[in-house]
A and B are shown apart, each in its own frame.
Chain A
Amino acid sequence: MTLVQNFPFFSIILAMFSGILSSVLSGKQARNLSLAALVATMVMSAAVLAYCLGAGESYTYMMGHFPAPWGNEIRAGVLEGLTALLFSMIMLLSVAGGMRYTFEDVEASKVNLFFIMIDLMLSSLLALIYTNDLFTAYVFVEINTIAGCGLIMIRQKGRSFSAAIRYMIMSQLGSGLFLIGLTLLYDVTGHLLMSPAKAAVAAIEAAGSYEIPMLVILAVISVGLAIKSGLYPFHSWIPYTYGYATPTASAILSGLVSKGYIFLLIKIFYRVLGQENVIASRMVNVLFLFGLAGMIMGSVHAIMETDTRRMIAYSSVAQIGYIYMGIGLGTENGMIAAVFHMFTHSATKALLFISAVGLYEVSGEKKDFRSLRGAGYRNHLAGIGFTVGALSMVGFPMLSGFISKLLFATAALQTPHKMMLTLIGLAVSTVLNAIYFLRLVITLYGRGEASQLRAQGTEEGLFGTGEASREAFSGRKSAPTVFGGAIICFILLNLFLGLMSQPVVRAIAAGLAMFD
């Protein structure tokens, strides 16, 4: 056992203990501890990824003193390392980018509580990624839910409480279904660890017994996790939750939390129920159809919305639809596309939420997107960040969204009976995406009411308003460099995923192969 093999456990426990420690620290100290934990996690995940890529295989790590069929285990492979690395990176950037707004939105005496939630969120996400035990996964799903609820309600303004209760109710419905699914699975297989459970499932399938219970288990677990990640018909909580939380919380909730559940679902498909059984049961077709519906309906809702942040939130519904559609294709390539889109969406949506708040700030904090007219000139970096994010979501070449769409389309070509539906869905959804995202981008760089002085024909007019608002802007701005740095890193991450997608795609393929 090398030192690197301990890192998954270290990163989980480090995040959890910094959460516990934060409860007695001041806000600033808690922030520093949180950032340190995030950086350490990033480094450790990178080391795990490098180790697994080098070794070419995954490994399990025994927790406690009981060996395989009984005890608890952590498992790390290429995909786990990659996901943990990207998640911790995106989380770090979201926390850094939204930092100033966090300190504005949250009462000074409660800032450390916010960072406790961040730490717990990190540790639960890491645990969902790394765990090899089903019941541990359930416990961390609940910790994740509680931390998410805390992140939503800590703003204590306007709608945050009603958004939090909506989130809690839907999440509890999902958790309940997931729990009963696990319980049934445990009763049928007699194992909670994923690998022995998979062997038991294979024996059951070979014997042809327990047909209906296995179908019920599959359905209940899929639907439970689909509710929690916000697949289309269960999406009603998304716009409220993402639209009214503090920016860091919105970015983390939309970018990472829903992906954690999807990752868990993929893991259960591959590592417990067996991907070929899942495909044979036709459950993938159900996910495929709901995913398609989500792609279209999410975008339609987003077009009808006028509040920018709710618009971005509805776009999440559409993007989650893409991911489930990829899973629903039921092929290796479809799954690779889905996982790649998970990363794309995490990176892009967090960028959109963080840069949107920078634009709001220079536009008088109105909800209507029309108030953002010309905001791209007032806060350049946020404008550029938002544009890059929007273009990536639409699928502009060079950005990560394009690669996801390309992967989805190629995967669709290999599944004849779903090809037409997927391609039509992709096309329609792309056009719809373009309608509302480009409308936003054009608004950002449009010259209208907000810079009416410009209409009088003088250059100083525009300059004057720009200067005035910039003054107001810089007055409230204590650490613009952190915000700017986060936006730049996000843009670079997007470009990296878009321009150098091949290593990532290969790593995903290798990781998925290790799941079996």
Chain B
Amino acid sequence: MIPLSWYLYLAAGLFALGLFGAVARKNAVAILMSVELMLNAVNINIVAFWRYLAPAEIGGQIFAIMVFAVAAAEVAVGLALFISIYNSRKTIAADEINLMKW
């Protein structure tokens, strides 16, 4: 059987990739996609831990389902905000949305 640690390394790699994307990307949609990668890493972690440590309890499964259900809601709100800002500013590049600073 594949050891638990392999899943954790995969999740850690995916999380680091997502975090890098969220910090380095300028396009708001790309940032949201990177956040999705981070959440997928979280889900791999949760499901692996559930399968290896506590398969008799459903807590881990519920947690994983909640994570992607809420992520979908967050993305829906995010895209609505992006459309609203694109209508007025004709850009969704995060570094050009800078009316307010300091």
Chains A and B are bound partners: no
Q: List residues of chain A with CB under 8 Å of any chain B CB.
A: none
Residues of B within 8 A of A (CB): none
